[in-house]
Amino acid sequence: MYSGLLIIILPLIVGYLIPLRQPTLLRLINRLLSGMVYVILFFMGISLAFLDNLSSNLLAIFHYAIVSVIVILGCNLFALRLLEKRLPWTWQHTQEKLPSRLHMALESLKLLGVVIVGFLLGLTAWPPLHFAARASEYALLLLLLLVGLQLRGSGMTLRQIMLNRRGMMVAIVVCFSALVGGGLAALLLGLPLKTGLALASGYGWYSLSGILMTESFGPVIGSAAFFNDLLRELLAIMLIPSLIRQHRSSALGLCGATSMDFTLPVLQRSGGIEIVPAAIVHGFALSLVAPILIALFSS
């Protein structure tokens, strides 16, 4: 159990301990990180193609993904509404013109296309593809190292994180309410409790959750985790503009770990520059805790 957790945490820690301030290197790390996401999802698609009883397993994947995203997001939004009633978070902001939500959704769906390409290639049963599982392990370690470098390069300190109370409060509420949702989803789906908790611990980080869950539970659960977190991101893109005026905490919490990167522009244009510090802290905290919890529940 602890060796598996150490393998996940060690690259993150090593990356975080390396101080990088040069803008050129930080941009290179961001580009490499984006590329590694596509590589890992490609390998995940290949692994999916090697499943036995493929048609029945595909139905199981979509069943697990749809039930888990409904239950987990339902628990998140319920808990966030309670937070809003107890500690309202409002200010006046004129919403800027947003980029096409359809365009942003299509950008997310490109990731799905990479999985499909890997899956179709895997169906050819080309012998070198049998090394995809081992290659994905090395790709994951590199991804985690790059994530550690990116988190350190963001300039966020633990003091800054703790001082932004709203970002931390929303992150804590999302973290624990998602775990409640994961437990309920496991009960509804007939899965072990630890599997449901691991499914809930991705917080929208589809590349990480997909590959980690595949390594621990196999391609069916790993693919379900990927679709669960991808659906979360797509729903966030669609719902942020309508939620942000009266339910700012819900709009932020819906983004999960993506609030510090992919969904940040939508949050800023919809909620103003004032929401950016909370969004970065919220995304940073969930990005830090996601691999730890997935590894813990997957061990």
Q: What per-residue string of b and e applies to 251-287 under the rule 16 or more CB within 10 Å gives b?
A: bbbbbbbbbbbbbbebbebbbbeebbebbbbbbbbbb
> What's the confidence (pLDDT) of residue 1?
40
Mean pLDDT for 112-121 is: 82
Mean pLDDT (the chain, rounded): 80
In the chain the first and final C-alpha atoms are separated, in Å, by: 5
> What's the confidence (pLDDT) of residue 104?
59
Whole-model pTM? 0.74
Residue 267 sits at φ, ψ, to 5 deg, of -60, -45
- The letter for the amino acid at 152 is R
Phi-psi region of 80 (alpha: psi -120 to 50; beta: other; left: phi over 0): alpha
Give percent of the chain above pLDDT 90.
22
Angle, helix 23-49 to helix 132-153, in steps of 10 degrees: 150
Mean pLDDT for the stretch of residues 108-126: 78
Number of domains, the chain: 1
pLDDT at 31: 80
Phi and psi at residue 109, to the nearest 5°: -70, -15
**CA pair distance 286, 170, nearest whole angstrom:** 10
pLDDT in tens, 178-215: 999 999 999 999 999 999 999 999 998 877 787 778 77
Boundaries of domain holding 247 = 2-298
Report pLDDT for 182. Answer: 96
pLDDT in tens, 126-181: 777 777 767 777 777 787 787 778 767 766 565 665 577 888 999 999 999 999 99
Q: How many CB atoms lie within 10 A of CB 109?
A: 11
